[in-house]
Amino acid sequence: MWENVFHAIDEQYENMVKTRRHLHQYPEVSFKEEKTAQFIADTYEKLGIPYESHIGGNGVLARLEGGKPGKTVALRADFDALPIQEENDVPYKSKNEGAMHACGHDGHTAALLGLAEALLPHKEELPGTIVFLHQHAEEYAPGGAKPIVESGALNDVDAVFGTHLWVNAPTGVIQTSKGPFMAGADRFEIKVQGKGGHGAQPHQTKDAIVIASQMVSSLQQIVSRRVDPLKTAVLTVGTFESGTTFNVIADSATLTGTVRTFDPEVQNLIIEEMEKVIKGTCETNDAAYEFTYEKGYPPVVNHPEEADLVLQHAHKADASLRTEEIEPVMAGEDFAYYLLDKPGTFYFTGAQIPDHYYPHHHPKFDFDEKALPHAAKTLFQSFISYQER
């Protein structure tokens, strides 16, 4: 029944690529996406689709009301970039120093804008209302999803669907889970205050590098020795900053890192055990410390019925697509806030460049642009499947 719409999406392919490459050249990091948000708003202005800007910050929401009665479904695409210097040698390389679309959000935006343009001529055929939800600031807490939900702009929405272009999966593969899908993502910072001194006189100091190094080793044992092996958790120390020169013993050190969990009890256990490790290590070495733990995005927990719609019906959008129900991944996503508020699901759209790809957040990250219409088609299919269930 919807073959004409899927064909219209295919016809948007070159336009999607053009949009994606434009956005890729002009990335803006979280909470600073003013020009990107304006580009999105200008696109809906040209299409004549009603929209609102500055939702929960830099968010943009557009609404396409179908000609037939039905439910209101939001389709989400994020549009922020990362503070990474791009190392790709491509014509559409980032022109903004120190910023890069290294996670595919430029593709998410291009796919959703392409879908909006493809659907416009078929407006009267559509049941219900599609909300094109363009979200800012996914990469850094507090993120953009929570303030958008709190703004009340989605109060009339019945369900929310979203996808992430995913280079860990081959192009043509759609992946999701019924239930927990992505982990809660927290951030911590530890400041160790010792006593500096001459590199030749360590006995007169409290070496912050040695103390912090002991701490790192002990922190790594929390998951392996304190968390139930049947539970899932990750604790990563991501940065270690200390010292000024080769012959001076550092007086202070700062560690930052992340904790990923699915279970609040495991999360709380890790926080308690971290405090013990940090306090014990510093007391043993007669050092002081500051420990800051920020609970970030909650886990992405898909609603089983909506996840099943993706798994069972995605192939209707394109016969070349196949679906996989996968184990949860430890990456985090603030799409979690939508799923705490509304039914829906989040899924991966395979976008792997065969034999040559770099992971998300890598300075040479890129994705297979042939996945753009797959993302647009499956989002539309999710909308239709939810209407027809």
Task: Using DSSP, state whether 253 is helix, strand or coil.
Answer: strand
Given this model, what pLDDT does residue 1 score?
83
Peptide bond into 142 cis (omega under 30): yes
The position carrying tokens 């935006």 is 109
Among the options 28, 86, 138, 318, which is catalytic?
138
CB 378 within 8 A of CB 173: no
- Bridge-based pairing of strands 184-193 and 252-261 is antiparallel
pLDDT tens digits, residue range 19-69?
999 999 999 999 999 999 999 999 999 999 999 999 999 999 999 999 999
pLDDT at residue number 266: 98
Tokens (6 digits) for 250: 């550092």
DSSP codes of every residue in 293-336: EEEEEPPEE--HHHHHHHHHHGGGT-TT-EEEE---BS---TTH
> What local confidence, expressed as pLDDT, does residue 314 receive?
98
325 a catalytic residue = no
Which pair of tokens denotes residue 97? 């120093």
Smallest CA-to-CA distance from 179 within 320, 327, 74 is with 327
Selected catalytic residue, list 78, 80, 207, 368:
80
80 is catalytic: yes
So what's the pLDDT on residue 355?
84
Indicate if 184-296 has the same CATH topology as 3-183+299-388: no
3-state secondary structure 87-102: CCCCCCCCCCCCCECC
Of the chain, the end-to-end C-alpha distance in Å amounts to 15
Architecture of domain 184-296: 2-Layer Sandwich (3.30)
Strands 233-242 and 51-55 come out as: unpaired
Q: Determine the pLDDT at residue 22.
A: 98
Strands 68-78 and 127-135: parallel
Q: Is 164 annotated as a binding residue?
A: yes
Q: Is 361 annotated as a binding residue?
A: yes
Q: Which residues contact 42 (CB under 8 A, 6 or more apart)?
A: none
Residue 369 annotated as binding?
no
Residues 372-386: tens digit of each pLDDT: 999 999 999 999 999
* Regions in the chain scoring below 70 on pLDDT: none
Q: Is 124 annotated as a binding residue?
A: no
Residue 292, strand partner residues: 189
Residues 6+ apart with CB under 8 A from 28: 34, 35, 36, 80, 81, 96, 99
Report the topology of domain 3-183+299-388.
Answer: Aminopeptidase (3.40.630)
Q: Quote the pLDDT of residue 329.
A: 97
DSSP β-bridge partners for residue 35: none
Domain ranges in the chain?
A: 3-183+299-388, 184-296
Handedness of CA 52, 118, 27, 141 (dihedral sign): positive
d(CA 70, CA 127): 5
Task: Kindly report the pTM of this predicted structure.
Answer: 0.94
- Asked whether residue 7 is marked as a ligand-binding residue, the answer is no
- pLDDT, residue 356, reads 83
